[in-house]
Structure 1
Protein backbone atom coordinates (compact mmCIF):
# COMPACT_ATOMS: atom_id res chain seq x y z
CA UNK A 1 0.00 0.00 0.00
CA UNK A 2 1.34 3.36 -0.93
CA UNK A 3 1.47 6.27 1.47
CA UNK A 4 -0.95 8.23 -0.71
CA UNK A 5 -3.48 5.37 -0.73
CA UNK A 6 -3.32 5.00 3.08
CA UNK A 7 -3.85 8.74 3.48
CA UNK A 8 -6.94 8.67 1.24
CA UNK A 9 -8.27 5.61 3.05
CA UNK A 10 -7.72 7.27 6.43
CA UNK A 11 -9.42 10.49 5.22
CA UNK A 12 -12.40 8.52 3.92
CA UNK A 13 -12.66 6.67 7.24
CA UNK A 14 -12.59 9.92 9.22
CA UNK A 15 -15.20 11.41 6.91
CA UNK A 16 -17.46 8.38 7.45
CA UNK A 17 -17.09 8.65 11.23
CA UNK A 18 -17.89 12.39 11.15
CA UNK A 19 -20.92 11.84 8.91
CA UNK A 20 -22.11 8.99 11.11
CA UNK A 21 -21.76 11.12 14.25
CA UNK A 22 -23.64 13.97 12.55
CA UNK A 23 -26.45 11.60 11.51
CA UNK A 24 -26.76 10.17 15.03
CA UNK A 25 -26.76 13.65 16.56
CA UNK A 26 -29.44 14.81 14.11
CA UNK A 27 -31.56 11.74 14.88
CA UNK A 28 -31.33 12.24 18.64
CA UNK A 29 -31.95 15.99 18.56
CA UNK A 30 -34.66 16.16 15.93
CA UNK A 31 -38.05 17.40 16.99
CA UNK A 32 -40.71 14.90 15.88
CA UNK A 33 -43.49 17.48 16.32
CA UNK A 34 -44.89 18.30 12.87
CA UNK A 35 -46.50 21.61 13.92
CA UNK A 36 -45.30 24.90 15.33
CA UNK A 37 -46.53 28.35 16.25
CA UNK A 38 -46.60 30.90 13.48
CA UNK A 39 -45.64 34.53 13.84
CA UNK A 40 -49.22 35.68 13.41
CA UNK A 41 -51.72 35.84 14.85
CA UNK A 42 -50.17 36.30 18.28
CA UNK A 43 -51.71 34.13 20.98
CA UNK A 44 -52.14 34.76 24.66
CA UNK A 45 -52.40 31.33 26.25
CA UNK A 46 -51.39 30.25 29.73
CA UNK A 47 -51.11 26.47 30.17
CA UNK A 48 -51.22 25.11 33.72
CA UNK A 49 -51.72 21.72 35.30
CA UNK A 50 -54.78 21.15 37.47
CA UNK A 51 -54.02 20.93 41.17
CA UNK A 52 -53.02 17.34 41.69
CA UNK A 53 -51.19 15.08 44.06
CA UNK A 54 -49.57 13.38 41.06
CA UNK A 55 -46.57 14.82 39.17
CA UNK A 56 -47.98 13.49 35.89
CA UNK A 57 -50.33 16.46 35.51
CA UNK A 58 -47.45 18.94 35.45
CA UNK A 59 -45.47 16.79 33.04
CA UNK A 60 -48.42 16.45 30.68
CA UNK A 61 -49.04 20.22 30.89
CA UNK A 62 -45.44 20.81 29.82
CA UNK A 63 -45.76 18.22 27.04
CA UNK A 64 -48.98 19.65 25.55
CA UNK A 65 -48.09 23.32 25.98
CA UNK A 66 -47.14 23.83 22.32
CA UNK A 67 -50.16 21.95 20.95
CA UNK A 68 -52.60 23.98 23.06
CA UNK A 69 -51.04 27.25 21.90
CA UNK A 70 -51.05 26.11 18.27
CA UNK A 71 -54.71 25.09 18.63
CA UNK A 72 -55.74 28.52 19.93
CA UNK A 73 -53.69 30.23 17.23
CA UNK A 74 -55.30 28.15 14.49
CA UNK A 75 -58.76 28.83 15.95
CA UNK A 76 -58.03 32.53 15.90
CA UNK A 77 -56.73 32.40 12.31
CA UNK A 78 -59.97 30.73 11.22
CA UNK A 79 -58.38 28.37 8.69
CA UNK A 80 -60.10 24.99 9.01
CA UNK A 81 -57.56 23.20 6.82
CA UNK A 82 -54.70 24.46 8.94
CA UNK A 83 -56.52 23.59 12.17
CA UNK A 84 -57.27 20.10 10.83
CA UNK A 85 -53.52 19.48 10.42
CA UNK A 86 -53.07 19.33 14.21
CA UNK A 87 -55.80 16.71 14.45
CA UNK A 88 -54.59 13.19 15.09
CA UNK A 89 -53.78 11.57 11.72
CA UNK A 90 -55.89 8.50 12.51
CA UNK A 91 -59.07 10.59 12.67
CA UNK A 92 -61.35 11.21 9.72
CA UNK A 93 -63.49 14.28 9.13
CA UNK A 94 -60.91 16.61 10.68
CA UNK A 95 -61.65 19.54 8.36
CA UNK A 96 -65.39 19.46 9.07
CA UNK A 97 -64.74 19.19 12.81
CA UNK A 98 -62.28 22.10 12.56
CA UNK A 99 -64.90 24.24 10.80
CA UNK A 100 -67.34 23.62 13.65
CA UNK A 101 -64.74 24.54 16.27
CA UNK A 102 -63.84 27.74 14.45
CA UNK A 103 -67.51 28.71 14.18
CA UNK A 104 -68.04 28.07 17.88
CA UNK A 105 -64.80 29.27 19.50
CA UNK A 106 -62.78 31.18 16.88
CA UNK A 107 -64.10 34.63 17.82
CA UNK A 108 -63.11 34.04 21.47
CA UNK A 109 -59.53 32.94 20.75
CA UNK A 110 -58.12 36.44 20.22
CA UNK A 111 -58.41 37.28 23.92
CA UNK A 112 -56.29 35.71 26.69
CA UNK A 113 -57.03 32.01 27.20
CA UNK A 114 -56.26 29.92 30.25
CA UNK A 115 -55.72 26.21 29.66
CA UNK A 116 -55.98 23.77 32.56
CA UNK A 117 -54.58 20.31 31.89
CA UNK A 118 -56.53 17.73 33.88
CA UNK A 119 -55.00 14.75 35.67
CA UNK A 120 -54.19 12.18 32.99
CA UNK A 121 -56.14 8.94 33.37
CA UNK A 122 -53.84 7.08 31.01
CA UNK A 123 -50.39 8.18 29.79
CA UNK A 124 -51.36 8.80 26.16
CA UNK A 125 -54.64 10.71 26.64
CA UNK A 126 -55.20 14.18 28.09
CA UNK A 127 -58.10 16.55 28.67
CA UNK A 128 -57.59 20.29 28.62
CA UNK A 129 -60.16 22.81 29.74
CA UNK A 130 -59.86 26.09 27.88
CA UNK A 131 -61.22 29.12 29.70
CA UNK A 132 -61.85 31.99 27.35
CA UNK A 133 -61.79 35.59 28.54
CA UNK A 134 -65.56 36.02 28.15
CA UNK A 135 -66.30 33.10 30.50
CA UNK A 136 -66.87 30.51 27.78
CA UNK A 137 -65.28 27.11 28.45
CA UNK A 138 -64.27 24.29 26.17
CA UNK A 139 -62.78 20.88 26.85
CA UNK A 140 -60.45 19.46 24.22
CA UNK A 141 -59.18 15.91 24.15
CA UNK A 142 -55.61 15.17 23.18
CA UNK A 143 -53.82 11.94 22.42
CA UNK A 144 -50.18 10.99 22.03
CA UNK A 145 -48.82 8.70 19.36
CA UNK A 146 -45.97 6.19 19.53
CA UNK A 147 -43.46 8.93 18.67
CA UNK A 148 -44.62 10.90 21.74
CA UNK A 149 -46.24 13.60 19.60
CA UNK A 150 -49.44 15.06 21.03
CA UNK A 151 -52.42 15.59 18.70
CA UNK A 152 -55.90 17.06 18.96
CA UNK A 153 -58.66 14.45 18.90
CA UNK A 154 -60.52 15.99 16.01
CA UNK A 155 -63.10 14.12 13.95
CA UNK A 156 -64.00 10.44 14.06
CA UNK A 157 -61.54 7.81 15.16
CA UNK A 158 -60.18 5.68 17.96
CA UNK A 159 -57.69 7.50 20.22
CA UNK A 160 -56.10 4.23 21.34
CA UNK A 161 -55.68 2.87 17.81
CA UNK A 162 -52.31 4.43 16.94
Structure 2
Protein backbone atom coordinates (compact mmCIF):
# COMPACT_ATOMS: atom_id res chain seq x y z
CA UNK A 1 0.00 0.00 0.00
CA UNK A 2 2.80 2.43 0.92
CA UNK A 3 4.66 1.56 -2.28
CA UNK A 4 1.56 2.35 -4.35
CA UNK A 5 1.05 5.69 -2.60
CA UNK A 6 4.73 6.54 -3.09
CA UNK A 7 4.56 5.64 -6.79
CA UNK A 8 1.43 7.78 -7.25
CA UNK A 9 3.06 10.72 -5.49
CA UNK A 10 6.23 10.45 -7.60
CA UNK A 11 4.17 10.16 -10.77
CA UNK A 12 2.13 13.26 -9.88
CA UNK A 13 5.31 15.18 -9.03
CA UNK A 14 6.91 14.20 -12.35
CA UNK A 15 3.79 15.24 -14.25
CA UNK A 16 3.69 18.61 -12.47
CA UNK A 17 7.37 19.19 -13.24
CA UNK A 18 6.86 18.28 -16.90
CA UNK A 19 3.90 20.65 -17.31
CA UNK A 20 5.51 23.64 -15.57
CA UNK A 21 9.12 23.28 -16.67
CA UNK A 22 10.73 26.08 -18.63
CA UNK A 23 10.77 24.89 -22.25
CA UNK A 24 13.62 27.23 -23.21
CA UNK A 25 16.75 25.37 -24.29
CA UNK A 26 18.95 28.17 -22.93
CA UNK A 27 19.74 29.52 -19.46
CA UNK A 28 21.58 32.33 -17.78
CA UNK A 29 25.12 31.44 -16.83
CA UNK A 30 26.82 32.10 -13.51
CA UNK A 31 28.95 34.84 -15.07
CA UNK A 32 29.29 37.48 -16.19
CA UNK A 33 26.59 39.14 -14.13
CA UNK A 34 24.53 41.57 -16.21
CA UNK A 35 21.91 44.12 -15.27
CA UNK A 36 19.00 43.98 -17.69
CA UNK A 37 15.62 45.58 -17.13
CA UNK A 38 12.98 44.07 -19.42
CA UNK A 39 9.72 45.97 -19.66
CA UNK A 40 6.76 46.15 -21.99
CA UNK A 41 6.08 49.23 -24.07
CA UNK A 42 3.26 51.37 -22.76
CA UNK A 43 0.11 49.94 -24.29
CA UNK A 44 -3.56 49.48 -23.72
CA UNK A 45 -3.16 45.83 -24.74
CA UNK A 46 -1.72 43.06 -22.52
CA UNK A 47 0.31 41.36 -25.27
CA UNK A 48 3.49 43.45 -24.82
CA UNK A 49 3.57 42.57 -21.12
CA UNK A 50 3.01 38.88 -21.86
CA UNK A 51 5.80 38.80 -24.45
CA UNK A 52 8.13 40.73 -22.12
CA UNK A 53 7.56 38.11 -19.43
CA UNK A 54 7.98 35.20 -21.85
CA UNK A 55 11.10 36.57 -23.58
CA UNK A 56 12.87 37.96 -20.50
CA UNK A 57 15.22 34.98 -20.12
CA UNK A 58 16.21 35.14 -23.81
CA UNK A 59 16.89 38.88 -23.64
CA UNK A 60 19.01 38.55 -20.49
CA UNK A 61 20.91 35.58 -21.96
CA UNK A 62 21.52 37.65 -25.11
CA UNK A 63 23.04 40.53 -23.15
CA UNK A 64 25.06 38.12 -21.03
CA UNK A 65 26.53 36.38 -24.10
CA UNK A 66 27.39 39.79 -25.57
CA UNK A 67 29.12 40.89 -22.36
CA UNK A 68 31.10 37.64 -22.24
CA UNK A 69 32.13 37.95 -25.88
CA UNK A 70 30.67 34.49 -26.41
CA UNK A 71 29.78 34.42 -30.11
CA UNK A 72 29.16 30.65 -30.11
CA UNK A 73 26.79 30.94 -27.14
CA UNK A 74 25.09 33.92 -28.76
CA UNK A 75 24.63 31.97 -32.00
CA UNK A 76 22.88 29.25 -29.98
CA UNK A 77 20.20 31.81 -29.07
CA UNK A 78 19.45 32.35 -32.74
CA UNK A 79 16.37 30.84 -34.33
CA UNK A 80 17.40 27.33 -35.44
CA UNK A 81 15.84 27.80 -38.88
CA UNK A 82 18.15 30.75 -39.59
CA UNK A 83 21.49 30.34 -41.37
CA UNK A 84 24.67 32.34 -40.77
CA UNK A 85 24.02 32.63 -37.03
CA UNK A 86 27.71 32.31 -36.06
CA UNK A 87 28.89 35.14 -38.34
CA UNK A 88 25.99 37.36 -37.26
CA UNK A 89 26.81 36.63 -33.59
CA UNK A 90 30.48 37.48 -34.13
CA UNK A 91 29.45 40.83 -35.66
CA UNK A 92 27.15 41.59 -32.72
CA UNK A 93 29.86 40.76 -30.19
CA UNK A 94 32.28 43.07 -32.04
CA UNK A 95 29.70 45.90 -32.03
CA UNK A 96 28.18 45.62 -28.55
CA UNK A 97 30.51 43.71 -26.20
CA UNK A 98 31.87 46.81 -24.47
CA UNK A 99 28.47 48.35 -23.75
CA UNK A 100 26.71 45.12 -22.73
CA UNK A 101 28.63 45.05 -19.45
CA UNK A 102 26.74 48.16 -18.24
CA UNK A 103 23.03 48.29 -17.27
CA UNK A 104 20.67 47.67 -20.17
CA UNK A 105 16.99 48.50 -20.66
CA UNK A 106 14.98 46.34 -23.07
CA UNK A 107 11.52 47.50 -24.12
CA UNK A 108 9.23 44.96 -25.79
CA UNK A 109 6.84 46.49 -28.31
CA UNK A 110 3.25 45.36 -28.85
CA UNK A 111 3.51 42.29 -31.07
CA UNK A 112 1.72 42.55 -34.39
CA UNK A 113 1.32 38.77 -34.43
CA UNK A 114 1.66 36.36 -31.48
CA UNK A 115 4.89 34.69 -32.67
CA UNK A 116 6.98 37.76 -33.66
CA UNK A 117 8.29 40.45 -31.35
CA UNK A 118 10.43 43.58 -31.55
CA UNK A 119 12.66 44.60 -28.65
CA UNK A 120 14.35 47.99 -28.34
CA UNK A 121 17.66 47.56 -26.49
CA UNK A 122 19.21 50.66 -24.88
CA UNK A 123 22.72 50.37 -23.52
CA UNK A 124 24.18 52.79 -20.97
CA UNK A 125 25.66 55.73 -22.85
CA UNK A 126 22.90 55.85 -25.44
CA UNK A 127 23.92 53.12 -27.88
CA UNK A 128 20.93 51.10 -28.98
CA UNK A 129 19.79 48.25 -31.13
CA UNK A 130 16.60 46.57 -32.25
CA UNK A 131 16.21 42.82 -31.73
CA UNK A 132 13.68 40.78 -33.65
CA UNK A 133 12.35 37.66 -31.95
CA UNK A 134 10.44 34.65 -33.27
CA UNK A 135 8.58 32.02 -31.27
CA UNK A 136 8.20 28.39 -32.24
CA UNK A 137 6.79 25.60 -30.08
CA UNK A 138 6.57 27.94 -27.09
CA UNK A 139 10.24 29.04 -27.24
CA UNK A 140 11.44 32.54 -28.12
CA UNK A 141 14.50 32.86 -30.39
CA UNK A 142 16.51 35.78 -31.78
CA UNK A 143 16.28 36.30 -35.52
CA UNK A 144 20.02 36.05 -36.06
CA UNK A 145 21.50 35.59 -39.53
CA UNK A 146 19.39 34.91 -42.59
CA UNK A 147 15.98 33.27 -42.60
CA UNK A 148 12.23 33.52 -42.60
CA UNK A 149 10.96 35.29 -39.48
CA UNK A 150 7.78 33.22 -39.59
CA UNK A 151 9.80 30.03 -39.23
CA UNK A 152 8.20 26.82 -37.96
CA UNK A 153 5.90 26.22 -35.00
CA UNK A 154 3.11 28.67 -34.27
CA UNK A 155 3.91 30.64 -37.40
CA UNK A 156 3.44 27.68 -39.71
CA UNK A 157 -0.10 27.15 -38.44
CA UNK A 158 -1.21 30.46 -39.94
TM-score norm. by structure 1 comes to: 0.86
Stretches (4+) displaced over 3 A? 10-20
Q: 105, 115, 125: which one pairs with 2:106?
A: 115
Q: Which has the larger radius of gyration?
A: 1
Mapping 1:130-145, distance limit 5 Å: 130-145=121-136
Deviations along 1:10-46, one digit per CA (max 9) or x if unpaired, are: 6776566455434422321222111111111110111
Root mean square deviation, CA, Å: 1.6
Residue 24 of structure 1 is matched in structure 2 by 15
Deviations along 1:90-129, one digit per CA (max 9) or x if unpaired, are: 1111111100101111111011111111111100110001
Residue 26 of structure 2 is matched in structure 1 by 35
Residue 157 of structure 1 is matched in structure 2 by 147
Structure 2 counterpart SS, 1:65: helix
Unaligned stretches of 5+ residues in structure 2: 153-158
Mapping 1:66-105, distance limit 5 Å: 66-105=57-96
Unaligned stretches of 5+ residues in structure 1: 1-9
TM-score norm. by structure 2 comes to: 0.88
